[in-house]
A and B are shown apart, each in its own frame.
Chain A
Amino acid sequence: MRILSLAGRRLAASIPTLFLILIGVFLLLQLAPGDTVDALMAQMGGGDAATAEALRKFYGLNLSVPAQLGNYLWHLVRLDLGFSSIYGKPVATVILERLPPTILLMTASLSFAFFFGLVFGVIAARGVNRWPDTMISTLGLIFYATPSFWFGLMAIVVFSVYLQWLPPGGFEDIGTVQTGIWRVLDIAAHLVLPTLTLGLIFLAIYLRIMRASMLEVLNLDFVRTARAKGLDETHVITRHVLRNALLPMVTLIGLQAGTMLGGSVVVESVFSLPGLGRLAYESVVQRDLNTLLGIVFVSALLVISVNFVVDLLYARLDPRIAAEG
């Protein structure tokens, strides 16, 4: 319960942040050339000024900026994100349709990066400054410097074009209708390359942090005690060191959530996945500013929820945090 109230307080503290973001981006978008009506008129193939005026009135765009902002926030409280003229649907619907692939992709990439970052970090720390460490650290540096979209393209060339093992893009095979387990397998096959692509840079970051964190914890007194009482090395690592070394890794999940969401914009474009990131890109290209603002809101919300979960995890890993409150 203590943990929940602690994390809840952090959650409540992030509400002003959320409003700050929304107001900032809303005002910023006022400076953008063209508004929803312009985009709509362009799609209709033009129209006279009277129609534009009527549409502006309909969408409430003839009001002053503060009034528009107030309107937007008031609608937002009721979870109404406005209407996307490009998609002809409410923004909330458009975003909800696009959310599952992104969440799936992020979860998969995070798990991949976290797991292998942990394993490689431990291996590197165990053989510090010997060849496994040098090799893993060098690979980490190279992964960190690799532009994700470029890695994705090269992976498509190797695995989809030459070896033809995996599909080059899309979320599932549209040609054949599949159900049940086959559909799951099909989607999984489509997500292998995007997951690797998005996860690569985070793998590099995680293994570096895990290595440093392991080296730090290995030097602490309780590890010496554990060794002195005759525990074998595997036991010392898994039971005593790992749990303590994991704390910075968990912190990192929260810190990197936003970066990962930003990375999925690029990765989803490379693999033409119908996710939130691709929607963000499309709404910039199509000047669908209402949808863009909605995406800003939802991504901030996502980052805040990830941080909430991280707070809970953190308290679970380290009981002292909940106790000190």
Chain B
Amino acid sequence: MDAVKRYFRSPAAVIGLILLLLVIAMAISAGVLYPRDPLALAGRPLIWPFSNPRFLLGTDNSGRDIAAQIFYGARISLLIGGVATVIAILIGILVGAFAGYYGGWVDNVLMRITEAFQTLPNFVLLLVLVAVFGSTLTTVTIAVGVVSWPAPARLTRAEFLSLRNREFVQAGKTLGMKDVQLILGEILPNALPPVIVYASVVMAVAILLESALAFLRLSDPNVASWGNLIGLGRDVLRVQWYVSAIPGIAILVTVLAVSLVGQGLNDALNPRLKSR
């Protein structure tokens, strides 16, 4: 309860939470506010924002409603960001827990692999994965998750290294608990908070990675995503710059919200570090 109180004492964290709830509300209400397909033709192309009450944010190059694409885009960004983060954190915890708990050659092998993933620029690896597996919503989400796990793995490993020789773990060992029980039931719950907080960073980066991929037209072209719209607006950038500008602001706000909430959680859960 203390943590909740501390969270709401920070104005930045509260602003972040409000923004995040706003984006989530957009994603939920998209179907109700814009029941038609957001990628269907809606009106004349390139109507400026605020000039036609039917299209509050105007229309894009091919006459599709920008506002509808922004609302549906919130779904895509949150979906890809969320699922990719879960994938990255799960792989990270698995690798980090084994490496940190067992040490020795297991640690050596796993850390070598982690290092390999960190040496290769993650966007280049993302390009390779997309080149191999194609760019549907599912493959892109998994690919973003697969390139994002090394940092959570290192974090989990560090936590496990510092926890594995504590008294409560040794007590568990003398009680005859199995390794899996110790890892999942005893150490992991204690190692989890910093990893969960770090998930916000992973999610922010995941949203940015997907939007960059979509901007390069290498993500799923059949869904209304913010990155796709920015890439589309690039063709009419010189005059109708709003087509690219609007979805960019949506990405900025979402990533900002996720980072602020993450920072707020961090400060609330580790109050002693806050004074720094």
Contacts and interface: CB of A to CB of B under 8 A. Distances in A.
A148 interface: yes
A290 B237 CA distance: 34
Interface residues of A, number: 53
A39 to B, nearest CB: 12
B112 interface: yes
A281 B216 contact: yes
Nearest to A298: B124
A25 B119 CA distance: 13
Interface in A256-281: 258-263, 265-266, 269, 280-281
A147 B212 contact: yes
A32 interface: yes
A262 B212 CA distance: 10
A253 interface: no
Given A142-B256, A144-B259, A261-B124, A153 B237 contact: yes
A150 B237 contact: no
Contact of A17 (B115, B230, B244, B276): B115
A77 interface: no
A266 B253 CA distance: 20
Contacts of B215: 147, 149-150, 266
A284 B127 contact: yes
Contacts of A32: 131-132
Contacts of A325: none
Contacts of A145: 204, 251-253, 255-256, 259
Nearest to A14: B119
Given A32-B132, A303-B119, A269 B216 contact: yes
B99 to A, nearest CB: 16
B244 A150 contact: yes
A165 to B, nearest CB: 15
Given A147-B208, A149-B230, A281-B216, A154 B245 contact: yes
A156 interface: yes
A14 B111 CA distance: 12
B107 to A, nearest CB: 15
Interface in A146-192: 146-151, 153-154, 156-157, 161
B238 interface: yes
A287 interface: yes
Contacts, number: 150
A153 B127 contact: no
A258 B212 contact: no
Contacts of A16: 112
Contacts of A269: 216
B132 A261 contact: no
B93 interface: no
Interface string B199-210: 000001000100
A153 B234 contact: yes
B244 A153 contact: yes
B18 interface: no
B131 A263 contact: no
Contacts of B134: 33
Interface in B246-275: 247-248, 251-253, 255-256, 259-260
B102 interface: no
B241 interface: yes
A150 B230 contact: yes
Contacts of B253: 145
Contacts of B230: 147, 149-150, 153
Contacts of B241: 153-154, 157, 161
A12 B218 CA distance: 36
A300 B251 contact: no
A28 B124 contact: no
B123 A20 contact: no
Nearest to A289: B131
A289 B128 CA distance: 9
Interface in B87-138: 112-113, 115-116, 118-134
Contacts of B216: 265-266, 269, 281
B228 interface: no
A260 B252 CA distance: 19
A146 B238 contact: no
Contact of A150 (B119, B121, B204, B248): B248
Given A153-B234, A280-B127, A287-B131, A147 B251 contact: yes
27 contacts: A16-B112, A17-B115, A20-B116, A25-B128, A29-B132, A32-B132, A33-B134, A141-B256, A144-B259, A145-B204, A145-B253, A147-B248, A153-B241, A153-B244, A261-B124, A262-B122, A262-B123, A265-B127, A269-B216, A281-B127, A281-B216, A284-B128, A296-B125, A300-B120, A303-B119, A303-B121, A304-B119
Given A28-B132, A154-B244, A284-B130, 10 more contacts: A31-B133, A32-B132, A142-B252, A145-B256, A147-B227, A149-B212, A161-B241, A212-B276, A259-B121, A263-B123
For the complex of A and B, list the 4 residue pairs with the smallest distance between their C-beta atoms, beginning with the closest. A262-B123, A150-B248, A145-B255, A262-B121
